[in-house]
Amino acid sequence: AQSVSQHNHHVILSEAASLELGCNYSYGGTVNLFWYVQYPGQHLQLLLKYFSGDPLVKGIKGFEAEFIKSKFSFNLRKPSVQWSDTAEYFCAGWNNAGNMLTFGGGTRLMVKP
Amino acid sequence: EAGVAQSPRYKIIEKRQSVAFWCNPISGHATLYWYQQILGQGPKLLIQFQNNGVVDDSQLPKDRFSAERLKGVDSTLKIQPAKLEDSAVYLCASSLGTGRTYEQYFGPGTRLTVT
């Protein structure tokens, strides 16, 4: 079955630290991957997406993700986090068989000021 | 532009009771989705509508869950009777069309607690 997994459930960082959140997918064929973010008290919103082309994708608020096909990974990165990045981050993949988004379990990030 | 609206934001019911959630998508969005997000997990698609027709309801527990989008705009999701394991956040999302290239916009969700 096509699935997306996130290994880190909780991450705590200090401001200005670098961030890398792991995401792995389990399916082949056409791969379309997404990162969503949910800030406290707000709705889920799209951070960035990968469809094809340059495997390094840049999103909003200084986030980027790299698609590494050989590792089945799409990790989210930010060179220097801010307190306002405190949120829950979800990796998702487009499930070709079901024609739907399949989400990972999420990573809760806390940035200490 | 106005986002996806959902109501109520919170609901507490006892098991075996029924409950209904309402969603108003972004104006002009043909596709509407209902997701269930259990605590500690990512959202899971329950049902997808294209206008007023069902595109996919393969993950909807049809013995107790039902959903409709009669006029192709607003939608309601109903649970009858509720079980303890239905405690979750129910998210509504909408998009211009159906498929991987259409961004889904999410509402604030309805947090359901079944006691």
Residue A101 one-letter amino acid: L
* Per-residue model confidence (pLDDT) at position B6: 97
Minimum distance, in Å, between the CA of residue B76 and any CA atom of chain A: 19
Best of B50, B94, B100 to disrupt the A interface (most A CBs within 10 Å) is: B100
Residue A3 one-letter amino acid: S
* Per-residue model confidence (pLDDT) at position A1: 63
Q: Which residues pair with A93 in a beta bridge?
A: A33, A102
| Closest residue in A to B41 (Cα–Cα) | A105
Residues A39, A45, A49, A51, Cα dihedral to 10°: 160
**Closest residue by Cα to residue A16 from A65, A60, A78, A68:** A78
Task: Report CA-CA distances (Å) from B21 to A70, A88, B5, B79, B102.
Answer: 43, 24, 11, 9, 24
Chain B residues with CB within 8 Å of chain A CB: 3-4, 40-45, 48, 55-56, 58, 91, 93, 98-101, 103-109
Task: Render A21-52 in DSSP notation, one character per residue.
Answer: E--EE---SS--EEEEEE-TTS--EEEEEE-S
β-strand A107-112 against A87-95: which pairing, if any? antiparallel
In whole angstroms, what is the distance from residue B4 CA to residue B105 CA? 7
Determine whether the interchain pair A43/B58 forms a contact, defined as Cβ–Cβ distance below 8 Å: no
B66: CB partners within 8 A, 6+ apart: B77, B78, B80
DSSP state of A96: T
pLDDT digits (tens, 9 = 90+) for B57-109: 999 999 999 999 988 899 999 999 999 999 999 999 999 999 888 999 999 99
* Per-residue model confidence (pLDDT) at position A40: 93
Determine whether the interchain pair A100/B48 forms a contact, defined as Cβ–Cβ distance below 8 Å: yes
In whole angstroms, what is the distance from residue B100 CA to residue B51 CA? 17
Determine whether the interchain pair B103/A46 forms a contact, defined as Cβ–Cβ distance below 8 Å: yes
* Per-residue model confidence (pLDDT) at position A62: 95
pLDDT digits (tens, 9 = 90+) for A50-71: 998 999 999 999 999 999 999 9
| Closest residue in B to A92 (Cα–Cα) | B42
Minimum distance, in Å, between the CA of residue B40 and any CA atom of chain A: 7
| Closest residue in A to B49 (Cα–Cα) | A100
A21 neighbors A75 (Cβ within 8 angstroms): yes
Q: Please state the rounded mean pLDDT for residues A9-35.
A: 92
Chain A residues with CB within 8 Å of chain B CB: 4, 9, 32, 42-46, 49, 51, 90, 92, 94, 98-101, 103-106
Instruction: Inform me whether the pLDDT recorded for B1 exceeds 80.
Output: no
In whole angstroms, what is the distance from residue A80 CA to residue A92 CA? 23
Half-sphere exposure of A55 (CA within 13 A, CB side): 11
* Helix/strand/coil for B53: strand
A19: CB partners within 8 A, 6+ apart: A11, A13, A76, A77, A78, A79, A81, A85, A109
| Closest residue in B to A4 (Cα–Cα) | B42
In whole angstroms, what is the distance from residue A11 CA to residue B5 CA? 31
